[in-house]
Amino acid sequence: MKINRKKIFFYLFAVIFFIGLIYILFNEYGFIKYSKLSSQVDSIKSEINKLKTENENLKNEIDSLRNKIPAKMEEVAREKYDMVKPDEVTIEIEKEK
């Protein structure tokens, strides 16, 4: 009779253990949900850092234009407005599709 009780106790313990493990992994606040949310947080933090760097670069560009730095003003005029100096010739290259 002792052997049967030990087997029953072992199987009962195994079933309870596996039910608890499944609950921990798959419930609303489980480990799988946590790992998905953790990866989303990491990607959002990466995006935030990228946007902060871009914002800093734009602020620096604005400061350069406000302070009327000649090199920066010329760069913006050439790139954004396609302006050229009177003696310059522009060459446009078409990209192949």
* 83 part of a folded domain: no
Q: What pTM does this model have?
A: 0.56
Domain that holds residue 14: 2-63
Give a yes or no: residue 21 inside a domain: yes
Whether 58 is covered by a domain: the verdict is yes
In a domain, 70, yes or no: no
Residue 81 lies in a domain: no
Cα–Cα dist 56/49, whole Å = 11
29, 30, 36, 41 alpha-carbon torsion, rounded to 10°: 50
In a domain, 31, yes or no: yes
pLDDT tens-digit readout, 3-62: 688 888 899 999 999 998 888 878 888 888 888 899 999 999 999 999 999 999 999 888
Residue 24 lies in a domain: yes
Q: Is residue 85 part of a domain?
A: no
The total of structural domains in the chain comes to 1
